[in-house]
Amino acid sequence: MPNMRLAAVVLAAGKSSRMGSNKLLLKVGDRRVIEHILLSLQPMDTTVVTGHRPEDITDIAESLGAETVHNPDYEEGMTTSFQAGLRTLDPKVEAVFMVLSDTFGFSTELLEWMADTMEDESEPLIVSPVYQWKRGHPVLFRRPLFEEF
């Protein structure tokens, strides 16, 4: 793992309106989706941003060591949730992973590769995985970009 100080912000504020129920609570194997995500991010400092029905997620996230913050403006879009998460970060954090809560299945190895790439490759400001020429998630942002949000 790189020497830079990393954190993660998990955007979990949406309504899951197309799904009809909170997709983060669905079980995949023996764990809920939100549990898979948070376990993949350990031991990194992680903030879960809630919005719609925060009570569904808060206890689970905190039981796995994540901090939670509620975004009352979640209906205004993901940017407001990311901003809410960024405000919780320790000032020593050098880069943050933005993780969409319905994006799971990424590996610790992917996160390490992304962080190593950011640290080693002439200091890029953004690193994201690419599959079949399409950018994906999570996305890693370096601190100088935090103010842009």
Residue 52 has what pLDDT? Answer: 84
Residue 2 has what pLDDT? Answer: 64
Query: How many residues belong to the chain?
Result: 149
Examine the pLDDT at 121 and tell me if it is beyond 80. no
Partners of 67 in beta bridges = 47
Residue 53 has what pLDDT? Answer: 82
Distance separating alpha carbons of residues 71 and 122, to the nearest angstrom: 35
Average pLDDT score over residue span 103-119: 82
Examine the pLDDT at 102 and tell me if it is beyond 90. no
Mean pLDDT value across the chain: 84
In order of start, what are the domains of the chain with their CATH numbers? 6-148 (3.90.550.10)
Q: Name the pLDDT band for 1 (thresholds 50, 70, 90).
A: low
Average pLDDT score over residue span 93-120: 84
Cis peptide before 2 (omega within 30 of 0): no
Q: Does the pTM exceed 0.75?
A: yes
Examine the pLDDT at 92 and tell me if it is beyond 90. yes
Examine the pLDDT at 6 and tell me if it is beyond 90. yes
Pairing of strands 134-135, 27-28: unpaired
Average pLDDT score over residue span 63-78: 92
Query: 11-68, pLDDT tens digit by residue?
Result: 988 765 555 567 777 787 898 888 999 999 998 999 999 988 888 889 999 999 999 9
Examine the pLDDT at 143 and tell me if it is beyond 80. yes
Contact 126, 143 (CB under 8 A): no
